[in-house]
């Protein structure tokens, strides 16, 4: 019995479904199910850091995540710019899984003056991890961390039923002439495809700042007296129709009670979450416009007489929610 996957999606012509034996087409469909496990790759993390143009402080970013239940390999792609004079950067990636565990440490990456480093690595994210912590250590060189993309990138299709609900196809029955086609094989196409689709959440909004010295905090704001001040605005493209997002935030206050961060769909719903030193989450129902766009505004409440710090605000979409 062999588990295999086409290297590219196996396009099945619509007319092939009607004029061939089911036992000839079904293995191809199930092969595509295996392909989905390897190549359904929506980004788990897509962040452009809100950061200083020349940072010498070894910035540290924390990003709430909802990884696959299958404990998948993910490819990380970092962009880091030297702000002038050249830099050597060491990138450390940790996951929070009941405690901080290092999953990757790079060698020192040399960046020529004003160049941008494009650094990739593939590592496993635990299914129970709730945050990533990324450190860009430059030993005093001034840098600008630019962006981070993290997407599923499994190396192989596993045997057995996965925690996500995915079941791989092997050619043990269908691969032999005149063997029966079971209803389970037909159902498996849908169940595994939907399992992969819903298991791999897609980041649809992100605002992430250094946890040491955030680029902007409430002391940079005008207003005051618990006013909400806008701190970010951008459009997401959500081609999947109306949906409920799960929004996560991590931030803190200098003292006293929590303050709030608010994520708004312009002319739509909003969600308020506490900045209290822990990761908080809430639901936000959004309705894309006719072209699939959702315009988000992010606001932070300025507490009176105290400072507030937003380190991360991210939203995830799970198709079907």
Partner 1 sequence: MRKPSTRDWSDLDATSAIIGEIAAPPASISYLAQAEAIVHDVATSPYAGCAHMYDSLEEDRYHAVVLPLGVTHWRAAFVRCAEYGAAGAVQAATELEAGTLPVAAAEVITSPAQTAGAYVYMDMTGTANPVALLKHQRTGGQIDDSPAATTDRQVPASALLRPQVVRYSISATAGHSAFVSGRTVDLETL
Contact 218, 308 (CB under 8 A): yes
How far apart CA 303 and CA 255 sit, in angstroms, is 10
Judged by beta carbon, residue 82 or residue 274, the one nearer partner 1 is 82
Residues in 107-136 at the binding interface with partner 1, rule: CB under 8 A: 116, 118
Judged by beta carbon, residue 90 or residue 191, the one nearer partner 1 is 191
Nearest in space to 136 (alpha carbons), one of 45, 232, 49: 49
The pair phi, psi for residue 96, each rounded to 5°, is -100, 120
The pair phi, psi for residue 158, each rounded to 5°, is -80, 160
Interface with partner 1 includes 3 (CB under 8 A)?
no
Interface with partner 1 includes 149 (CB under 8 A)?
yes
Judged by beta carbon, residue 86 or residue 97, the one nearer partner 1 is 86
DSSP three-state, residue 36: helix
Interface with partner 1 includes 98 (CB under 8 A)?
no
Residues in 260-289 at the binding interface with partner 1, rule: CB under 8 A: none
How far apart CA 321 and CA 302 sit, in angstroms, is 32
Interface with partner 1 includes 157 (CB under 8 A)?
no
Residues in 60-79 at the binding interface with partner 1, rule: CB under 8 A: 75, 77, 79
Interface with partner 1 includes 90 (CB under 8 A)?
no
Which residues face 296 on adjacent strands? 234, 265
Which window, 94-102, 103-111, 155-163, 191-199, contacts partner 1 (CB under 8 A)? 191-199
Contact 26, 183 (CB under 8 A): no
Interface with partner 1 includes 13 (CB under 8 A)?
yes
Which residues face 197 on adjacent strands? none
Q: Which of 3, 4, 48, 170 binds partner 1 (CB under 8 A)?
A: 48
Which window, 61-69, 103-111, 254-262, 293-301, contacts partner 1 (CB under 8 A)? 293-301
Cα 8 to its chain centre, rounded Å, is: 23
Q: Which of 104, 216, 254, 276 binds partner 1 (CB under 8 A)?
A: 216
Read off the DSSP letter of residue 155.
Answer: S
Judged by beta carbon, residue 144 or residue 280, the one nearer partner 1 is 144
């Amino acid at each position: 019995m062999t588990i295999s996957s086409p290297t590219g999606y196996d396009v099945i012509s619509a007319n092939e479904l009607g004029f061939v034996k089911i036992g000839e087409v079904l293995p191809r469909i199930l092969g595509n199910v295996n392909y989905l496990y390897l190549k359904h790759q929506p980004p788990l993390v897509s962040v452009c850091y809100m950061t200083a143009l020349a940072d010498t402080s070894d910035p540290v970013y924390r990003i709430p995540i909802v990884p696959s239940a299958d404990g998948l390999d993910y490819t990380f792609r970092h962009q880091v710019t030297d702000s002038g004079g050249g830099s050597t950067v060491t990138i450390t990636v940790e996951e929070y899984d009941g405690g901080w565990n290092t999953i990757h440490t790079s060698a020192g990456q040399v960046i020529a003056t004003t160049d941008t480093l494009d650094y990739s690595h593939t590592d496993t994210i635990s299914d129970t991890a709730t945050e990533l912590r990324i450190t860009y250590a430059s030993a005093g060189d001034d840098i600008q961390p630019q962006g981070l993309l993290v997407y599923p990138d499994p190396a192989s299709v596993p045997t057995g039923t996965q925690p996500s609900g995915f079941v791989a196809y092997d050619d043990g029955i269908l691969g032999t002439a005149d063997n029966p086609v079971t209803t389970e094989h037909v159902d498996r196409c849908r169940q595994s495809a939907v399992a992969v689709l819903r298991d791999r959440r897609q980041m649809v909004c992100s605002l992430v700042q250094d946890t040491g010295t955030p680029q902007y905090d409430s002391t940079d704001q005008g207003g005051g007296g618990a006013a909400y001040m806008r701190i970010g605005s951008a459009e997401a493209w959500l081609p999947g129709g109306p949906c409920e997002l799960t929004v996560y935030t991590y931030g803190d206050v200098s003292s006293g009670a929590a303050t709030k961060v608010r994520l708004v769909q312009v002319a739509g719903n909003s969600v308020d979450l506490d900045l209290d030193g822990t990761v908080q989450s809430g639901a936000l129902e959004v309705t894309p416009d006719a072209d699939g766009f959702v315009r988000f505004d992010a606001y932070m409440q300025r507490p009176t007489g105290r400072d507030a710090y937003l380190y991360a605000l991210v939203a995830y979409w799970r198709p079907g929610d």
